[in-house]
Structure formats: C-alpha cells, structure tokens
Amino acid sequence: MTIGMETQGTDGEFKVWAVDDVVYGPVDLPTLVGWVGDERVVVDTWIFDIASGAWSKAVHLEALKMFFGQGTTTAATGAPAAADPLIPGIKPGTLRRVKIFAGMSDQQLGRFVQLMQVEKAPSFKEVCHQGSPGDAMYCVLDGEVRARILVGGRETTLATFQAGDIFGEICLFDDGPRSADVIANVDSTLLRIPSDKFDKMCQDQPDLATPLLLALGRTLTARIRNDNKRLGELITLSRAGR
C-alpha cells in the first residue's frame, strides 16, 4: 500500500490517502502510529511528505522510526529489527497513541516514560475516588474508563476516556481532592504519572516539561470550550422551557 501524508499545521495531524484514490483521514500522529501497530502501515509502505515534497518508506520517517527499530536490520533476514519497548510489556507504538505525547521526540519520550508507572485496571475497578487526594495523572493506553459522580445514590457519568485520552491532569497543578470517581468500564491499561515526579521534572528538565505542558494546556482548553458549550445549551433549554 502506498500512502501520502500531508502535514496539517503544527499539532501533528495528517491527511492520508492511497494512490488508488481511497482517502484516509485527516488523522493525527497517534492514529497513524496506531496503523503501524495494526500493520496497516508497514516498513515498506511508501509515504509522501507534502512539506518536503519527497517520497520515503515508513521506516525512514523520523516520526515512525522508533516503531521499526530505528531503521536497523537483522543480519539473518535483512528485515528491520524490532524496537525495544520503552516500558516492559508495552509496545512502543502504544505510547504514541496518547495524544499528549505527539509533540515529543523519541528521545524526550524515552526520558519521560521513566517517570511513569503501569497500572492494570480490571473491569469495574475504582481507579480514583471522589474526595481523595489528587496525586497523579493517568493516560489510557488501552481499554476504557468513566468519570462519575453519585447524587442521591444515582450515578451520573461526566466523561468517558478511551485509548489515547488522559484524566486527572488537574492534580498536576494543585493538590486538591478528586472531583469524581473514575471506574474502569473494561479491562484497561493505564500509565500513572505521580504529581511529585512531575514537579521534579519541571524543575530539573524544563526541555521535557515544555512540550507536555503545551499539550496539557491544549487539552484543558478544549475541555473548557466543550463544557462552556454544554452549559450554554443547558441554559438555552432551561429558558425555552419557562
């Protein structure tokens, strides 16, 4: 399969299409990396970068090299060597599906994962409890979790988080209590980023903290915009019902 790729701005989004006129996208970098993991994009897939105006194989693209063993080959077969996982038991491509990692280089991501802890959350497990101290942010590698509150013994779901999403990021900026319970809907794999390690990273490794803070800022901004939109719709409905 031959695929073209066009950069969309600076946030890691791509427009992807095949030479047989089947259009894919637009997609972001985490989605493209997911296609590598699903073998929809392989080492010999040709990708056209509109920005540089040059064709290259996927294995030679800087953003994808880590998923093909940095372009090295095995002596026995001549095929690209498999990349060593940055976290034992976690495929390298899985990390790139997390949207806040899209702006990090391979070297930065390799340093950042040293701060993380892998946490398995079986179905129905409570990951966070409302009112408990907020001491870590979470990234969803696979599976699905939901944020909920209980009012009068009845559950209201506030948000659902799937692979590539993050939650609990507010605790990185204050030490307030959790505002909701977080429950695993299915068996899930999470990355836990303790707030104390995040603080130390900001002090000792500002070059690593900067792309993460920018990504978190964009995520929080998008959520505020969505919340404002929903609040406006609720106010409109309330006034219309009077």
The whole-model pTM stands at: 0.61
Tens of pLDDT, residues 14-29? 544 443 444 455 566 6
Architecture of domain 95-228: Sandwich (2.60)
Higher pLDDT, 121 or 14: 121
- Tracing tokens 């870590």 back to the chain, one arrives at 136
Tens of pLDDT, residues 186-206? 999 999 999 999 999 899 888
Q: What is the pLDDT of residue 87?
A: 62
Domain ranges of the chain: 2-71, 95-228
Higher pLDDT, 39 or 222: 222
- 9 has a pLDDT exceeding 60: no
- 61 has a pLDDT exceeding 70: yes
Burial degree of 115 (CB within 10 A; 0-12, 13-18, 19+): middle
- Angle at 64 (CA atoms; ends 191, 139), nearest 5 degrees: 15
Q: What is the pLDDT of residue 73?
A: 45
Give the closest residue to 45 by CA, choosing from 94, 80, 10.
Answer: 80
Tens of pLDDT, residues 66-114? 777 544 444 444 444 444 455 666 665 677 778 888 777 777 887 888 7
Confidence class for position 2, pLDDT limits 50, 70, 90: very low
